[in-house]
Amino acid sequence: MTVYVRRFPCSVCGKNIYYDSDKQTLTCGCGSFNATFVNLQEFQALPKYDRKYWKSETYPIDCAKFLSNEILLDGSNVLFISDRQSIMKGNENPQMRLRWIYYPEKDKVQLCMAISGTFHTEKISYNKVNPNEWKERMWIFLDAETVKKMLSFLEKNPQAIASWM
């Protein structure tokens, strides 16, 4: 399945026009229409990975941690940490970006939560249970104000184009 984007936007709504070769549909801000013939010289193929059609927002977070499956030679595990108040590295400025992603193959929308910032590593030597047996492998810490802002972003219907104008 290939999705194409037209080299110039829709003359009515001004949004990009997408052509799905499997479904034979043209889609833009005006809606979705069946197309029996499309001149592909006016279109370029989009990559097959996720399509980030909708607006994203970035929020400061307090901390993000991820436990690696990697075991060091001394038998300890590695924890990747980005912390606003790290005693090791100071402010590592962790940020969470929320964005809606459209997967055309199954016609589904998903929320992507991506973490950026400077990360440092720590060996886990204080554990009482083998880290490979932990039920949780990733932690994201948010303050209440950030959660409120995120909820207002998430209240919008990602499938309603009007929500993102």
Q: Is the pLDDT of residue 63 over 90?
A: yes
Q: Please tell me the predicted confidence (pLDDT) of residue 123.
A: 83
Dist. CA 65–CA 87, nearest whole Å:
15
> Phi-psi bin for 77: left (phi > 0), alpha (psi -120 to 50), beta?
beta
Question: 75-85, pLDDT tens digit by residue?
Answer: 778 889 999 98
pLDDT band at 104 (very low <50, low <70, confident <90, very high): low
pTM of the model: 0.61
Please say whether the beta carbons of 63 and 81 come within 8 A: yes
Where along the chain do its domains lie? 3-45, 56-164
Dist. CA 148–CA 42, nearest whole Å:
43
Please say whether the beta carbons of 125 and 75 come within 8 A: no
Dist. CA 72–CA 92, nearest whole Å:
24
What percent of the chain clears pLDDT 90, i.e. is strictly above it? 21
Question: 106-165, pLDDT tens digit by residue?
Answer: 667 788 889 999 999 888 777 777 777 888 889 999 999 999 999 988 887 776 655 554
Please say whether the beta carbons of 3 and 22 come within 8 A: no
Q: Please tell me the predicted confidence (pLDDT) of residue 31.
A: 84
Q: Is the pLDDT of residue 62 over 50?
A: yes
Rg of the Cα atoms in the chain? 22
Please say whether the beta carbons of 3 and 17 come within 8 A: no
Comparison of pLDDT for 1 and 132, the residue scoring more? 132
Dist. CA 65–CA 73, nearest whole Å:
22
